[in-house]
Chains A and B, each alone.
Chain A
Amino acid sequence: MLVRVNSEKRKLGYSGDVKGLLKLLKVQKETVVVAKNGKIVPETETVGGNDEVELIKVIFGG
């Protein structure tokens, strides 16, 4: 699975729901919107295999 966080790409051997992925990456759920293969998905969505997952940071300071 390919994960993109803040335009940084990395390969990850993960299979499970988005919620678990965020926990693994130590990203607060409240701060990102997740897209799977270009489509916005809820945190209960399953990801893995050849999926391309993007974490879009949406909470900014200032």
Chain B
Amino acid sequence: MKCYLCKQDAVVRIEYMQRELCQQHFFRMFEKRVMHTIRKFGMVKKGMRIGIAVSGGKDSTVMLHLLAQVCKPMRCKLVAILADEGIRGYRDRAIVKCKKECKKVGVPLKIYSFKKEYKVTVGEIGCRVNNSCSYCGVLRRHILNKAARELKLDVLAFGHNLDDAAQTVIMNITRNEPFRLARFGASGGISEDESFVPRIRPLIETPEKEIALYSILKGYESVMQDCPFASQAFRDRAREFLNGIEEEYPGSKKRVLESFWVIKRALEKEYAAKKGEKIGKCAKCGEPTSQKKECKACELAARARGIIKQRRKVKP
């Protein structure tokens, strides 16, 4: 098959465009779209201090390279932040790759470990509970926000892609949690409270498969394996569902996100008062929380430590 623009050998068929593209034109289309997202949502401004949440996976690696490219002329300060949840044989491999990619673009990498922060790892609790993704997600957001504030960052960039966003929309509707949807978006924070570092998602309009293809063709090193505890997640079901729909009706994920942008305006109005609410501080760690005493992360970390202690006692 040939590229519809230059007649070179095609590397991809973009089904929702009904077009084949060669490597060069695919790169151009891909980068143009990410730049468009960054501009449209005003994600990057001159002289900003930007944290890049990296995991060693393809999404954050591609984001790292693109942000390094965009931010250079804008004199932004970049720092990559990795939350090491401690899953052996998975995260350690990712860290090796991540270090290499950060070195390539000259961005310093800071690693924050769950073991050090919470005295427990997801590797330890993953084989003892069936909802380790809930623990991992809460603790990860907690550690990253804390790190971003300590490093005095203006924004924290996440590698969430179009597939992640469409899954989030479907999951929150299925769970009847519209308030969560009102907080979700391409840029901004969970709350207007200053202790939450605003987030940006430069890849939110880019399909996951295209990110993977871009990463492979560029020769980036990233971890290409499932998290050993991933199948426990509700997100996996949402992913399968959306991939099936996309195959039959190309462009569906994009349309889910576009519909969401419209719905979001109404949701923001509905929950405006809640977003501006003053947030309390956790009695244990001092991080922002809407809970009365301690934050969800401290609560889950304590619960996880308790589970491990209990199982150790039971062992003969």
The residues of A with any CB-CB pair to B shorter than 8 Å are: 28-31, 33, 39-45, 56-62
Are A40 and B11 also in contact (CB < 8 A) when A29-B247, A30-B246, A33-B216 are? Answer: yes
Query: CA–CA, A31 to B208, complex, Å?
Result: 9
The reply to whether B236 and A40 contact each other, CB–CB distance below 8 Å, is no
* Smallest beta-carbon distance B1→chain A, Å: 5
Are A40 and B217 also in contact (CB < 8 A) when A31-B243, A60-B230, A62-B227 are? Answer: yes
Instruction: With A58-B58, A62-B233 given, name 5 new contacts (CB 8 A).
Output: A30-B243, A40-B12, A44-B1, A59-B209, A62-B230
Would you call B225 an interface residue if the criterion is a C-beta within 8 Å of the partner chain's C-beta atoms? yes
* Smallest beta-carbon distance B16→chain A, Å: 12
Q: Indicate which residue in A28, A43, A44 contacts B243 across the interface (CB closer than 8 Å).
A: A28
Contact-residue size bin, chain B (C-beta under 8 Å from the other chain): 35 or more
The reply to whether B230 and A58 contact each other, CB–CB distance below 8 Å, is no
The reply to whether A28 and B244 contact each other, CB–CB distance below 8 Å, is yes
Within 8 A of A (CB), among B136-195: 163
Who on chain A is nearest to B87 by CB?
A62
Query: CA–CA, A62 to B240, complex, Å?
Result: 14
Residues of A within 8 A of B20 (CB): 42, 44
Residues of B within 8 A of A60 (CB): 57, 224-227, 230
The reply to whether A30 and B226 contact each other, CB–CB distance below 8 Å, is no
The reply to whether B229 and A62 contact each other, CB–CB distance below 8 Å, is yes
Residues of A within 8 A of B209 (CB): 30-31, 33, 58-59
Q: Indicate which residue in B10, B11, B13, B212 contacts A58 across the interface (CB closer than 8 Å).
A: B212
Who on chain B is nearest to A60 by CB?
B226
Query: CA–CA, A62 to B208, complex, Å?
Result: 14
* Smallest beta-carbon distance B122→chain A, Å: 10
Would you call B69 an interface residue if the criterion is a C-beta within 8 Å of the partner chain's C-beta atoms? no
Could you list 9 A-B pairs, sorted by A, with CB under 8 Å? A30-B163, A31-B243, A40-B216, A42-B1, A43-B15, A45-B10, A58-B209, A58-B213, A62-B233
Q: Indicate which residue in A40, A57, A61 contacts B227 across the interface (CB closer than 8 Å).
A: A61
Residues of B within 8 A of A44 (CB): 1, 10, 13, 20
